């Protein structure tokens, strides 16, 4: 039986490997001409920056001319492997040139726009997650109020950005950021206290099924004369822990139930190890 188990395990592993291989198809090192194209664009970008920089350091100019020489050589035979290496060397020289350039900081409006985009996405993500809770019939009034306030601040920020009122936009974004943190805190509090029946029931069911499968494997191994002491001890502890967690949850002690489930992780690892050693020839 042990050989059969190992055989099936191996087949499962091979199948998973095949899926992974399929997923990676089409990947591989970039072709030389793509690297060269990237390097050419990099050169053009830094050359343009150099052109608008007053008193550019001579070393930056030297690096860029070194890059130009390498790129010219590489473009003679873009498909050749050496061309790719030369393009990579050119990129290294362009990077050094960019590092030496004293560019002014990002214009304020760009930084504000970036912050606005980030906060909007954070809020949308949280809204989506809260929407899923609502779809499950879970009411979250505190989170909803906080969401509304955060949305309002972001709308104010959008208006201020459109008007070019940068100070007002900055203040509104600051407020939005605080309010989004408030939403996230309220959501965590809600999740901590909620009875997410679907999730928890599914977990108890899944673990229960796994434990029944483990019990059958232990019993078969015992019947064939194997030493199952370790596996049995871990199995019993997990079963007792699971029952206790289920009771706690039924009595409304959700936090305690969760903590107890979390404490089962090392025991589950022990059980997996014990089952693995039982299946070794």
Partner 1 sequence: MRRALALGFLLAIVAMPGVWASYECTVYRDGYVHVIHSVQALPFEAVMRYEPLGTPYESFLATDPEGVPLFFSDEGEAVLIYTLGSDTVTVSYDTPALTAKEGALWTYEAYHDAPASVTFPEGSSIISFNPVPDTINLDTGTITLSEGIATISYVLLYTEDEHTENPFSGMALVAVVLAVAIGGGIFYRRLNRAAAWGEDTELDAVENRVMAYIAEKGTVLESEIRMQFDLPKTSSWRMVRRLEAAGHVTVERKNRTNVVRFNKRS
**Chain residues 64-83 in contact with partner 1, contact rule CB under 8 A:** none
Q: Do the beta carbons of residue 242 and residue 204 sit within 8 Å?
A: yes
Distance of closest approach, residue 72 Cβ to partner 1, in angstroms = 18
- Considering the rule CB under 8 A, would residue 41 count as an interface residue with partner 1? yes
Number of chain positions touching partner 1 (CB under 8 A): 96
Give whichever of 156 and 204 is closer to partner 1, judged by the CB atom: 204
Give whichever of 19 and 165 is closer to partner 1, judged by the CB atom: 19
Helical spans, DSSP H, in the chain: 2-23, 32-51, 58-76, 81-100, 108-135, 141-163, 166-193, 197-223, 229-250, 254-263, 265-279
* Residue 276 Cα distances to 50, 61, 86, 223, 246, angstroms: 62, 63, 51, 17, 28
Distance of closest approach, residue 239 Cβ to partner 1, in angstroms = 13
Site for partner 1 in 260-279 (CB under 8 A): 261-262, 264-265, 268, 272, 275-276, 279
- Considering the rule CB under 8 A, would residue 252 count as an interface residue with partner 1? no
Site for partner 1 in 190-229 (CB under 8 A): 191-192, 196, 198-200, 202-203, 205-207, 210, 213, 216-217, 220
- Using CB under 8 A, which of the segments 75-83, 94-102, 153-161, 229-237 binds partner 1? 94-102
Site for partner 1 in 155-194 (CB under 8 A): 180-181, 184, 187-188, 191-192
Fill in the per-residue mask, 99 to 138: x = in contact with partner 1 (CB under 8 A), - = not in contact. xxxxxxxxxx-xx-xxx-xx--xx--xx-xxx-xx--x--
Q: Which residues contact 241 (CB under 8 A, 6 or more apart)?
A: 260, 261, 263, 264, 267
């Amino acid at each position: 039986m042990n050989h059969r188990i190992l055989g099936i395990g191996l087949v499962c592993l091979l199948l998973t490997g095949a899926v992974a291989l399929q997923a990676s198809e089409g990947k591989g090192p970039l072709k030389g001409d793509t690297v060269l194209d990237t390097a050419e664009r990099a050169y053009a970008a830094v050359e343009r920056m150099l052109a608008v920089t007053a008193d550019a350091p001579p070393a930056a100019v030297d690096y860029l001319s070194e890059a130009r020489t390498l790129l010219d050589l590489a473009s003679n035979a873009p498909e050749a492997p050496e061309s790719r290496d030369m393009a990579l060397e050119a990129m290294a020289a362009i990077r050094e040139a960019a590092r030496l350039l004293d560019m002014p900081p990002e214009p304020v409006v760009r930084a504000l726009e970036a912050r606005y985009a980030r906060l909007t996405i954070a809020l949308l993500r949280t809204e989506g997650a809260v929407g899923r809770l609502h779809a499950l019939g879970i009411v979250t009034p505190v989170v909803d109020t906080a969401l509304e306030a955060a949305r309002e601040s972001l709308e104010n920020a959008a208006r201020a950005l459109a008007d070019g009122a940068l100070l007002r936009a900055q203040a509104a974004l600051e407020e939005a950021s605080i309010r989004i943190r408030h939403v996230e805190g309220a959501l965590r509090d809600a999740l901590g206290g909620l009875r997410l029946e679907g999730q928890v029931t599914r977990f108890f069911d899944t673990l229960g099924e796994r434990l029944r499968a483990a019990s059958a494997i232990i019993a078969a191994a015992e019947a064939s004369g194997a030493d199952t002491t370790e596996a049995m001890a871990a199995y019993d502890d997990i079963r007792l822990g699971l029952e206790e967690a289920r009771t706690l949850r039924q009595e409304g002690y959700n936090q305690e139930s969760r903590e107890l489930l979390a404490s089962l992780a090392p025991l589950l690892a022990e059980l997996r190890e014990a089952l693995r050693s039982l299946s070794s020839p």
